[in-house]
Amino acid sequence: MSRLETNSIHIGKEYNQTSAVVTPIFQTSTYLASDNLDEYVIAATETKHPEFYHRHGNPTNSQVAAILASLEKTEDALVLATGMAAISTAILAVVKSGDHIIAQQSHYSGASLFLKEFLKDYDVDITQIDQTDNISFSEAIRTNTRLIYIETPSNPNLDITDLAFIGRLGHEKGITTMVDNTFASPINQVPAEFGIDVIVHSATKYLGGHSDLTAGAVCGTKDYIHKVWRRSLVLGASLSPFDSWLLLRGLKTLALRVHQINENALQLAKWLSQNNHIKSVIYTGLPTHPQHELARRQMKGFTGMLCIEVAGSTEDEQYNRAQNILKNLKVFANAASLGGVESLIVHPASMWGSHHSNQQKKTAGINRGMLRISVGIEHIDDLIGDFRQAFEA
Ligand SMILES: *Cc1c(COP(=O)(O)O)cnc(C)c1O
Three-class DSSP labels, 99-146: CEEEEECCCCHHHHHHHHHHHHHCCCEEEEECCCCHHHHHHHCCCCEE
Helix H or strand E encompassing 66: helix 59-72
Whether the CB of 214 sits within 6 Å of ligand 1? yes
Q: For the chain, what are the domain ranges? A: 4-250, 255-392
Domains 4-250 and 255-392 share a fold: no
Q: Provide Rg for the chain, Cα atoms.
A: 21
CATH number of the structural domain 255-392: 3.90.1150.10
Ligand 1 centroid – CA 14 distance (Å): 30
Q: State which ligand 1 atom lies nearest to the alpha carbon of 338.
A: 15
Helix (H, G, I), strand (E, B) or coil at 37: helix
Read off the pTM.
Answer: 0.96
pLDDT tens per residue across all 393 residues of the chain:
679 999 999 999 999 999 999 999 999 999 998 889 999 999 999 999 999 999 999 999 999 999 999 999 999 999 999 999 999 999 999 999 999 999 999 899 999 999 999 999 999 999 999 999 999 999 999 999 999 999 999 988 899 999 999 999 999 999 999 999 999 999 999 999 999 999 999 999 999 999 999 999 999 999 999 999 999 999 999 999 999 999 999 999 999 999 999 999 999 999 999 999 999 999 999 999 999 999 999 999 999 999 999 999 999 999 999 999 999 999 999 999 999 999 999 999 888 765 666 666 666 678 899 999 999 999 999 999 999 999 998
220 and 197 in contact (C-beta within 8 Å)?
A: yes
Ligand 1 centroid – CA 128 distance (Å): 19
Helix (H, G, I), strand (E, B) or coil at 333: strand
Q: State which ligand 1 atom lies nearest to the alpha carbon of 337.
A: 1
pLDDT for 364: 66
Burial group, residue 374, by CB count within 10 angstroms (0-12, 13-18, 19+): buried
Ligand 1 centroid – CA 203 distance (Å): 8
Which of 79, 80, 84, 154, when mutated, tests ligand 1's pocket best, judged by the most ligand atoms within 8 Å of its CB?
A: 84
pLDDT for 356: 64
CATH number of the structural domain 4-250: 3.40.640.10
Helix (H, G, I), strand (E, B) or coil at 12: coil
pLDDT for 362: 67
Q: What's the rounded Cα separation, in Å, for the pair 174 and 192?
A: 16
